[in-house]
C-alpha cells in the first residue's frame, strides 16, 4: 500500500517555492521521492538546501510570473515535468470603491492568467511526449467566500477553482489529473500581522474547529497526496485544508 504514496522517478515544478506554503510543498514532494524544481522570482536556494537536508533532490529555477506568457514559454527549460504545482500568488488590499486598475491587473496576471498559461504549457509538453501528469493549483478559502478589501484576489481565486474544473474535464481523458487545494489560515510570513493581533487572531481561532492555525506542512501533505497514485481517480476537486473553517 505504501507504494501508492510514493513519487520516485517523478519530476515536479512548484512555483513560489522560495518560502511559506510553496517551500513546504517543494520539500514534501521531494520527501515523497520526486525531483523538485523549486521555481520563484526570489531565490529558492534555501528551499533546495532543505530538500537536500531531507536527503532528497531538487534544483532552483528562476521564474517571474508577473509576465505570464514569458513564464509559460520558459517552462520547457525546466525539463520534462510529471507534476506542476501552481502555488505562487500575490494580494493587494484596498476598499473596492478605491481599488486601482493596476492592482487588479497585477493580481489577476499572477494569480489566474499565469496559472492558466502554466497549465497550458505543461499540458502541451505532456501531450507532445504522449505522457500524462498531475497539476495542483493552490486556491483559497476565498474561492468560496467573498472576503473584504481584496476584490482581485477573491476574483482570481474563484477563477482558479473554475479553471481547475474545466481543465480536469478536458484533460482527464488524456491522462492529466487537475485538482486544487484551498488552504485555510496558515502560519506563514503573510499572516504574521494577523497572528500578532490578539483580537483578530482570537476571532479567527474561534471559528476554526481544529483550534489552531494551519502549518505549511498541512498543505504540503494534501498536495503530495493529489500527486501520488493514491489519487489516480481524483480530478476536478478543490480540497479544503482549513481545520474545518468552511464547515463552521
Cβ neighbours, 10 Å, residue 100: 11
CA atoms of 139 and 106, how far apart (whole Å): 17
CA atoms of 111 and 16, how far apart (whole Å): 11
CA atoms of 114 and 228, how far apart (whole Å): 24
Assign 31 to helix, strand or coil. helix
Which residues are marked as active site?
153
Residues 6+ apart with CB under 8 A from 11: 34, 35, 37, 79, 80, 81, 82, 83
Rg of the chain taking only CA atoms, in angstroms: 17
CA atoms of 32 and 84, how far apart (whole Å): 15
CA atoms of 195 and 82, how far apart (whole Å): 36
Amino acid at each position: 500500500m505504501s507504494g501508492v504514496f510514493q513519487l520516485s522517478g517523478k519530476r515536479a515544478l512548484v512555483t513560489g517555492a522560495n518560502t511559506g506554503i510553496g517551500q513546504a510543498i517543494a520539500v514534501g514532494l521531494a520527501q515523497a521521492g520526486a525531483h523538485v524544481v523549486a521555481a520563484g522570482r526570489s531565490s529558492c536556494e534555501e528551499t533546495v538546501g532543505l530538500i537536500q537536508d531531507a536527503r532528497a533532490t531538487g534544483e532552483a529555477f528562476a521564474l517571474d510570473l508577473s509576465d505570464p506568457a514569458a513564464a509559460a514559454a520558459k517552462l520547457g527549460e525546466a525539463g520534462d515535468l510529471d507534476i506542476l504545482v501552481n502555488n505562487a500568488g500575490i494580494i493587494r488590499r484596498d476598499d473596492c470603491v478605491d481599488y486601482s486598475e493596476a492592482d487588479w491587473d497585477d493580481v489577476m496576471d499572477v494569480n489566474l492568467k499565469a496559472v492558466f498559461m502554466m497549465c497550458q504549457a505543461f499540458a502541451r509538453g505532456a501531450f507532445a511526449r504522449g505522457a500524462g501528469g498531475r497539476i495542483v493549483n493552490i486556491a483559497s478559502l476565498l474561492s468560496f467566500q467573498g472576503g473584504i478589501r481584496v476584490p482581485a484576489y477573491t476574483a482570481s481565486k474563484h477563477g482558479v477553482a473554475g479553471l481547475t474544473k474545466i481543465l480536469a474535464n478536458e484533460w482527464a481523458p488524456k491522462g492529466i489529473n487537475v485538482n486544487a487545494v484551498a488552504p485555510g489560515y496558515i502560519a506563514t510570513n503573510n499572516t504574521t500581522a494577523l497572528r500578532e493581533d490578539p483580537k483578530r487572531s482570537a476571532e479567527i481561532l474561534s471559528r476554526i474547529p481544529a483550534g489552531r492555525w494551519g502549518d505549511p506542512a498541512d498543505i504540503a501533505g494534501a498536495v503530495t497526496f493529489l500527486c501520488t497514485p493514491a489519487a489516480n481517480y481524483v480530478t476536478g476537486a478543490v480540497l479544503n485544508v482549513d481545520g474545518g473553517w468552511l464547515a463552521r
